[in-house]
Amino acid sequence: MKKIGIIVILLAVGVLGFWLYFFPTYSWHQKMTVEVEIDGQAYTGSSVVEMIVKGIREPMQLDNVARHLSMRGEAVAVELPHNQYVFALLTYNAYLTGKVFHDIVGGVVSQPEKGWAGVIGDVQEVRALDQEDYPMLVTFTDINDPKTVKKVDPKNLAATFGTGVFLKRITLEITNKPVTKGRVESVLQWYYKVERLIPKSEMPFLKKNLTPDQRIRLGDFMDWRSRKENKSK
């Protein structure tokens, strides 16, 4: 019996080692900061999220097996004058990190398990995003009404918020700080009271007929795990 027990333990260790090697999981914390300027006055907001990559090493890779990319945390909320807010949503993934810091960590951006995901946590630098890589920006014409959600053009904040308002930059930083919690729910006090931003009865029947504003989801403000955990408290 003792030999059988040892064999079982060795097999378990072997299977675990096989799994960890061929299906590695990487994670790191990163901070996104949004800077808005209004008539020379700076307004900023930031959020730290955890990025998670579950890779698949060769020769286990198959064309029909997708890498699993996910994150834990919430959107960036920037408070502006007159009870207005601009949010940078969770509409990006780990590939953005690999692209922003590619010259430091190397590797293939679209294949994080080939190197960079394992060392990205060692990066000590803040970098501005290219405009083409900005996450979706949105606001609410009435912060107390989820139905008033509206996309914001990063090139023209003045069209939404008035003359003299513009987006200065959005930066990304790898950090050891804890994941941000509570900011979104403190601003959107209705967040846990609704199932969707716009009632289903007010949405078109076909998805193809959805407007850009109607495509915005609660999950773009907070990942489903954080939402579930916070809602249960």
DSSP for 59-71? TS--TT---EEEE
Number of domains composing the chain: 1
pLDDT at 233: 63
* Rg of the chain in Å (alpha carbons): 21
pLDDT at 39: 92
pLDDT at 1: 59
pLDDT at 7: 52
pLDDT at 25: 82
- pTM of the predicted model as reported, rounded to 2 decimal places: 0.84
pLDDT at 114: 64
Could you tell me if residue 205 is inside a domain? yes
Domain range for 104: 22-231
Could you tell me if residue 138 is inside a domain? yes
Could you tell me if residue 95 is inside a domain? yes
**CB within 8 Å of 132: residues ≥ 6 apart:** none
Residue pair 220/75 in contact (Cβ under 8 Å)? The answer is yes
pLDDT at 16: 38
Cα 65 to Cα 1, 57, 109, distances in angstroms: 40, 11, 17
Q: What is the DSSP letter of 217?
A: -
Cross-sheet strand order for the sheet of 149-152? 76-80, 84-88, 137-140, 149-152
Which residues does the chain have with pLDDT short of 50? 8, 10-21, 59-66
Alpha-carbon distance of 220 to 99, in angstroms, equals: 21
List pLDDT tens digits, range 152-180. Answer: 999 999 999 999 999 999 999 999 999 99
Could you tell me if residue 36 is inside a domain? yes
Could you tell me if residue 12 is inside a domain? no
Could you tell me if residue 65 is inside a domain? yes
Could you tell me if residue 26 is inside a domain? yes
List pLDDT tens digits, range 25-47. Answer: 889 999 999 999 999 999 999 99
Query: What does the DSSP assignment read for 148-166?
Result: GEEEE-TT-THHHH-TTEE
Could you tell me if residue 70 is inside a domain? yes
pLDDT at 113: 62
